[in-house]
Amino acid sequence: MNTLAHTGGPGPWVLLFPLFWAAVVIGIVTL
């Protein structure tokens, strides 16, 4: 939670989580 305060809110994480999970799903499918 401390990282959220340092980055100025959950904004960046909201954008990164979909990209992260998309990369994980694509990686599993391609394997």
Q: What is the pLDDT of residue 22?
A: 92
Would you state the pLDDT for residue 14? Answer: 74
Look at residue 31 in the predicted model and tell me its pLDDT.
Answer: 84
Q: What is the pLDDT along the chain (31 residues), one digit of tens a residue?
A: 455 555 556 666 677 788 889 999 999 999 8
What's the angle, vertex CA 8, arms to CA 4 and CA 23, rounded to 5? 60
HSE-CB for 6 with a 13 A CA cutoff = 3
CA dist 26 and 18 (Å) reads 12
- Flag whether the pTM goes above 0.75: no
